[in-house]
Amino acid sequence: MAVNSRLSRRRFIKAIIASSAAAAASNAGLRAAFAQDRPSGAVERLVSLNVNGRTRRVDVLPQETLAYTLRYKLGLTGTKIGCNRGECGACTVLINDVTNYSCSTLTHSVRSRNVLTVEGLQDTGGQLHPVQQAFIDELAPQCGFCTPGQVMAAVGLLRANPRPSREEARQAMSGNLCRCGAYDNYLNGVMRAAGQST
């Protein structure tokens, strides 16, 4: 194998340093062109959010969580804050059809995404979602505090997997804690709702 006599470690490292310095220099020019009078990391606070199919304009701090914005700025108190640390699931919402803990989601990160909360499930005629009706039929809610999170987790599951096995449903609902211990009733409700969908 012929070795390129011009290639050496010294030349390679020099080339890397030279190219990164050139890149930094050009980037600095680019940033100066777009420079605004804000500290780096600042965001525009008045944002448009897509919540339950509607566009809502709201002032959002950079560090604000989605749960906080939904409850205290948009008046959607259906989403509950249980632990506020991503452990209990009471704050579960759907972001682009995927279950998320809204207490651990920065509102600014969902600006371009669809957010669905429990308030957005009923159709325009006020008809209950099959999951909601199934939870009523199976008497799942006791105190009801975990219920909105359980509902959203179930809806998220059935959107991804319309005919889950009981074990799959159990796994999907495992992110929602219930201090009343109504897990079995919720599971029965999920299976009931799954049976109703095609």
In the complex, the residues that contact another protein under the rule CB under 8 A are: 71-72, 76-81, 117-119, 121-122, 128, 132, 135-136, 139, 141, 144-145, 147-148, 151
| Single-letter residue type at 177 | L
Shortest approach of another protein to residue 98 CB, angstroms? Answer: 19
| Comparison of 89 and 141: residue with beta carbon closer to another protein | 141
What strands lie across the sheet with 54-59, from one edge to the other? 54-59, 46-51, 114-116, 92-95, 98-101
Question: At closest approach, how far in Å is the CB of 91 from another protein?
Answer: 12
Give least dist CB 197 to another protein, A: 17
- Least distance from another protein to the Cβ atom of residue 28, Å: 41
Pick between residue 77 and residue 111 the one whose CB is nearest to another protein. Answer: 77
Nearer to another protein, 105 or 117 (CB): 117
Residue 49 or 146: the one with the smaller Cβ distance to another protein is 146
Instruction: Rank residues 108 and 116 by Cβ distance to another protein and give the closer one.
Output: 116
Minimum distance, C-beta of residue 148 to another protein, in the bound complex (Å): 5
